[in-house]
């Protein structure tokens, strides 16, 4: 795509990582000939668990209302920078995107759907490593869904922190994140996902890939990648954000 590009991203209200990281990635893709701007809105999300109250934060109505605000800015594509589809189910994300596309006429994707596309197109991965901040029940639901997709995750190849309060997640430091990624790689992972858009991790991906020798697919980056992929934006100038941007 040539000419100005506007990306619209929906994020959880308590997320403090996705905006600056997404903006930094997009800035590295934007050029003078094809300027790209990214525009954000939020839905109310504070707790992450399998409780009915937590799951009700991610209703199609809430996400449609947010998407409508982005449509006012005439964005060309919309992304949900959230990983709820990992535990609510991939079909949930697909239905959400289809619903919003039908209502607004704007293509949409999510962090989780972007990740799944990358897993399918990058290589034939057999040992997915999962790094999340989530509680065990949420983590188990994610593992179940990826196993059904053809990417079984053993207990040795997952690490989680049992955090339900989303605002706490962004405070996890680089040393802890490095430790978790290293652990799943040591357990044999041939690809790792840092699965949460409130991880402050996307800027660490290139360093980890060089150190560990496997692709690292971060949830903040996967939605930006897929949004640009959908509208056919060249992402070659963002390769320093990870191997995914070389696809």
In a domain, 246, yes or no: no
* Domains identified in the chain, total number: 2
Q: What is the DSSP secondary-structure string of 39-76?
A: EEEEE---B-SSSHHHHGGG-HHHHHHHHHHHHHTT-S
User: The domain that contains 54 carries what CATH number?
Assistant: 3.40.50.12500
> Per-residue pLDDT for the chain (247 aa), expressed as one digit of tens each?
566 899 999 999 999 999 999 999 999 999 988 999 999 999 999 888 888 888 888 899 999 999 999 999 999 999 999 999 999 999 999 999 999 999 999 999 999 999 999 999 997 899 999 999 999 999 999 999 999 999 999 999 999 999 999 999 999 999 999 999 999 999 999 999 999 999 999 999 999 999 999 999 999 999 999 999 999 999 999 999 999 999 8
With left for phi above 0 and alpha for psi between -120 and 50, is residue 150 left, alpha or beta?
left
Residues 211 and 226 in one domain: no
Is 70:10 a contact under the CB 8 Å cutoff?
yes
Residues 128 and 196 in one domain: yes
Cα–Cα distance for residue pair 110/22, rounded to 1 Å: 13
Residues 30 and 127 in one domain: no
Residues 101 and 157 in one domain: no
CA distances from 208 to 33, 118, 120, 125, 158 (A): 32, 18, 21, 18, 17
In a domain, 97, yes or no: yes
Cα–Cα distance for residue pair 210/208, rounded to 1 Å: 5
Instruction: Give the domain extent around 100.
Output: 5-110+220-240
In a domain, 183, yes or no: yes
Which residues on adjacent β-strands are paired with residue 32? none
Residues 122 and 106 in one domain: no
In a domain, 245, yes or no: no
Is 110:223 a contact under the CB 8 Å cutoff?
yes
Considering only CA atoms, which of 206, 199, 234 is closest in space to residue 220? 199
Rounded to two decimals, what is the model's pTM? 0.95
């Amino acid at each position: 795509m040539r000419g100005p590009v506007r990306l619209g991203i929906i994020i959880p209200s308590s997320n403090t990582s996705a905006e600056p990281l997404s903006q930094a990635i997009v800035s590295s893709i934007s050029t003078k000939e094809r300027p790209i701007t990214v525009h954000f809105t939020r839905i109310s999300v504070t707790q992450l668990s399998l409780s009915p109250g937590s799951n009700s934060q991610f209703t199609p109505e809430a996400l449609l209302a947010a998407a409508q605000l982005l449509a006012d800015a005439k964005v060309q594509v919309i992304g949900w920078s959230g990983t709820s589809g990992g535990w609510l189910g991939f079909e949930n994300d697909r239905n959400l995107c289809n619903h919003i596309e039908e209502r607004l006429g704007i293509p949409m994707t999510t962090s989780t759907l972007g990740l799944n596309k990358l897993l399918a197109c990058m290589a034939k991965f057999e040992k997915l490593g999962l790094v999340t901040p989530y509680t065990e029940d949420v983590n188990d639901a994610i593992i179940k869904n990826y196993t059904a997709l053809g990417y079984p995750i053993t207990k040795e190849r997952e690490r989680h922190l049992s955090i339900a309060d989303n605002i706490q997640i962004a405070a996890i430091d680089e040393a802890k994140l490095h430790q978790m990624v290293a652990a799943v790689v040591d357990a044999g992972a041939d690809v790792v996902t840092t699965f949460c858009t409130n991880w402050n991790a996307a800027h660490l991906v290139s360093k980890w890939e060089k150190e560990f020798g496997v692709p690292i697919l971060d949830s903040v980056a996967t939605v930006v990648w897929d949004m640009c992929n959908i509208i056919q934006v060249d992402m070659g100038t963002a390769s320093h954000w990870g191997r995914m941007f070389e696809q």
